[in-house]
A and B are shown apart, each in its own frame.
Chain A
Amino acid sequence: MPELHIPVETETLANGLRVVVSPNYSAPIATIGVYYQIGFRLEPRGRSGFAHLFEHMMFQGSEHAAKMEHIRLINSSGGVANGSTRYDFTNYYEVVPSNALDRVLWLEADRMRALKVNEENLHNQRDVVKEEVRVNVLNRPYGGFPWLDLPPVAFRKWPNAHNFYGDFADLDAASLDDVRAFFYTYYAPNNAVLLMVGDVDPKKAFRLARRYFDDIPRQPLPAVADVAEPPQPEERRGRVEETFAKIPALALGYHAPERRGPGWHVASILDRFLHGGRAGRIYRHLVLEKQIALDASGGFNGSSGSIIDYNGPTLLVTTIFHKPEYSAEATIAAFDDVIRDVCEHRVSEDELQQVKVKLRADFYSMLESAHGGLPRVGLMHTLACFTLFDDGPHHINTAVDSLCAVTPAEVQSVAQQMLMRENRAILIRQPAPVQQNQDHCLREVVQ
């Protein structure tokens, strides 16, 4: 089996900013990211959607780079930039020809040091975010399924369960004072990691990091929030009406083991047995063999993430679109056949070996290009998560090996502990009755 060794060098500035550099000179491109350890899980109550709205505000101007200037400087250097807000972090990244490294660091430092935004910017981005919610959630079939639908059913604590994209009333309530408070509380160098990967000389990279970021003062950080969920005594269920499409869908989420706790690695392997495309057990059983479902897929907190992206309550989610002639109950029963099998019978060495080979191959592809095919964004992202949540960017060189050490007995044991009915939540997304007035979108949760 081929091995891939990723060079990793680290330094922590006096203000607490962690800097991680991973050089690779195969192309004259640098991938640069700043990750802040604040995601939508910990946004203020009464301000649902604020962490994401704030991410938009980070592009609205800083002390020396006015609105549009940040993106103009990146694009006209031949690069691209983006940001995203997730459960436990918010990231900002640039992929640029490597001669723009100085410029990118200057820009990132400028907005870490001082945002410069006004009422007009806030009003403008609130409108933009509402259109984003309309296009991604409200005006399309299965919008928000399951990433916004399932958490309110599965979780009891507001940080884990609220509407992460934001209720419009909460977005309207957001003020410049909120922007300031959020910035001072969380956008501090000692709550962030700076990553530089690709065509970057480590010595020069650390020197530039000190040059641009050293004078940004550290801030007192709030106490670590307790987001752990209370024990769940029984299966939870909820329903959301599907406004547009006519095909019924289901999402089933099992609470995953705690980060780096017992069973955490094994849960990743279990995910690959159950999901993992057309060879996965759920797709094979429900779609190819029983032909109850039209599609089935899954992953941690939906199909987008990997388990390393989270630092708090996380679900292993399966989403199923099933034929209308089968009821939700019949579909769940067929799904339970797969779960029972993986709990009752030890997986074969052959199947486990297939899963491990594919996992290694997918890990390499993810490092090379993830998130829209941009070079090394996956490597940057993985280093960031290991740094923020484990203080261990070097895990990148052992992550696959620890997964590949998992045995059939461990898979069975973790399946038996994790894949219990009492440990899951089910969200049923069914088409609206034919005569339903479609002017409003029903999102009632039944528990």
Chain B
Amino acid sequence: MTGHAPTAVPVAPPALGPERAVEWPVRTLRTLANGMQVVLAEHRTVPKIGIELFFCSGNGLVARRSLGISELCSRVIRTGTAARTSRQIEEDLRRMGASLSTMSNPDYSAIAVSGLSEFAEGILAMIADLAQNASFLPNEFERERRQRLEELKIERTTPGFLSNECFRRVIFGDHPYAIIAPSESQLKSYSVQNLKSFYRENYIPSNALLIAVGDFSSAEMLGLIEKTFGSWKSAAAPLFAADIKSSGHGRTVDLVQFPGVQTEILVGNLALNRQSPDWHCALLANAILGGSFNSRLVANIREQKGYTYSPRSIFHPLRHAGYFSVHAAVRHEVVAATLTEIFYELDLMRALPVSDAELRGAMNFLCGAFSLGVATQDGLLGQLSTVYLDRLPENYLETFRDKICALTAEGVLAAARRHFHSSDARIVLVGDRAQIEPQATLFGEVRFHDNNRA
């Protein structure tokens, strides 16, 4: 005992007090005449606003041609418009206390700005300018391309990137979701014209969803949005769909060579996304397995065995599919021991119902974390984008907690059997082959990758 004094306060943890109800934000929904959807939510914690304009076209749409076109387009649009130079864009943003990010993920491209609410009109005008009038100047394009090329080289020396890259290929096979980054030769082959046509075809109002959260009046904000975006001409939006094939039966092991002092482990399988009726139950099962600090994986391979610093498991929902993964970075000598424990925990979730205490604890965790997630402007914007981009029911936020609390241990067991694979799991290891090969072969025939893809 390392103590200051005998205790005079209660020796048992105090019970929880009565809960104050969470107030779910009122949303204002509109579809403009040109097809652009608008979602507004007032949120007055600070005198700021967050506005994000999404386009339902991302890397997945162009992955077969070349995934990098979408992400490079996102980068280049902030470097100049018909009316503003690169420097003017950055200075105009700073004048409005604003930060801009432009990004592209497998399903979406987005232009996001957060800034002081008094500059709402200017921020909307900036977003409209970037969405409609990007100039794609050759010198700006070449600079961004070179930066991306060098970043790619760094990514190829980063274990976390290498493990994700290999894992996505193993999980998604020939589906566009299999690819997370372009090759250097692809990146070198793009022209400004490739970016311009992606921009012309996809950055259009019928493909767009604008979400604004913050310190504003919805009526005024709607007026500003109509004024700013109402005259934007539309066209037919592109469609992206591709069938997902199951990645087959039996455990597979892929080993990516990396000459470091640790092995990155990923174990998982093709799973589900938010459209699935199992979604809530899968989240609950995952919270117990490895989705919180108070989970079985953390208790086992961190707090009991000390194999790893931040073990975790997670469901990754994409628009057309989803996958599940367990992650741990461990010293080389405990790779087989860690995999054994990961499969022990997966098998246990698939074999026996969870205890009532674990079930209640995980329910409370998910419900509480969900309300933490809507308490900030950024958090609420993220939640609303989930609901409206994934076309979830209008009352998704309001019903989330009730749905979680209605689940049972039997339901969790069934969900675990469907979505945590064991004998069909995909294993990816990124580490030093010489040190981990004998351990890897214990779990199946090993496919080696030398990590010199270009």
Could you tell me which A residues sit within 8 Å of B by CB distance? 1-2, 4, 24, 26-29, 63-65, 67-68, 71-81, 95-103, 106-107, 109-110, 112-117, 123-132, 134-135, 138-141, 179-180, 183-184, 188, 199, 211-212, 215-217, 219, 244-247, 276-279, 284, 287-288, 291, 294-295, 321, 323, 353-355, 357-358, 360-362, 364-365, 367-369, 373-375, 438-439
Contact with A along B1-37 (1 / 0, CB 8 A): 1111101111111111111111100000000000000
- B153 near A294: Cβ-Cβ < 8 Å: no
- Among B13, B17, B310, B365, chain A packs the most CB atoms within 10 A around the CB of B13
Given known contacts A64-B7, A97-B19, A75 and B1 CB-to-CB distance under 8 angstroms: no
Of B9, B13, B116, the contact of A211 (CB 8 Å cutoff): B9
Please list the residues of chain B having a beta carbon within 8 angstroms of any beta carbon in chain A. Answer: 1-5, 7-23, 44-48, 86-87, 90-91, 93-99, 114-118, 143, 146-147, 150-151, 153-154, 157-160, 259-262, 292-294, 299, 302-310, 329-331, 360-362, 364-365, 367-369, 371-372, 374-379
Cβ of A166 to closest chain B Cβ, rounded Å: 14
A124→B303 contact, CB < 8 A = yes
Contact A369 B376 (CB under 8 A): yes
Contacts A103-B16, A294-B151: A361 and B98 contacting too (C-beta < 8 A)? yes
Which B residues touch A4, using CB under 8 A? 46-47
Known: A199-B20, A246-B153. A368 touches B377 (CB 8 A): yes
Task: Point out the residue from A24, A68, A215 that lies within 8 Å of B294, measured CB to CB.
Answer: A68
Contact indicator A357/B45 (Cβ below 8 Å): no
Contacts A113-B5, A115-B2 known; list 19 others, CB within 8 Å: A4-B47, A71-B294, A76-B365, A78-B369, A79-B372, A80-B372, A114-B1, A114-B3, A117-B2, A123-B306, A128-B302, A128-B303, A138-B260, A139-B159, A246-B157, A279-B87, A360-B116, A361-B99, A368-B48
B157 and A244 within 8 A (CB): yes
Across-interface contacts of A362 in B (CB, < 8 A): 97, 99
A-B contact count (CB 8 A): 273
Q: A78-B371, A131-B329 are known contacts. Are A279 and B159 too (CB-CB below 8 A)?
A: no
Q: Max chain B CB contacts within 10 Å: which of A24, A115, A244?
A: A244
Supposing A73-B13, A357-B97, A360-B97 touch, asked if A26 and B44 sit within 8 A by C-beta, the answer is yes
**Do residues A103 and B2 form an inter-chain contact, with CB atoms below 8 A?**
no
Inter-chain contact B96/A184, CB cutoff 8 Å: no
A126 to chain B, nearest CB (A): 8
A102/B17 in contact, CB under 8 A: yes
Cα-based distance from A428 to B146 in the complex (angstroms): 22
Q: List, sorted by A's number, 29 A–B pairs whose CB atoms are closer than 8 Å.
A: A26-B45, A63-B3, A65-B13, A67-B303, A68-B299, A78-B368, A97-B20, A99-B18, A100-B17, A103-B14, A124-B303, A125-B306, A130-B331, A131-B308, A138-B261, A140-B159, A140-B160, A184-B2, A215-B8, A219-B4, A245-B153, A245-B157, A284-B87, A287-B147, A288-B86, A288-B143, A294-B151, A358-B97, A365-B46
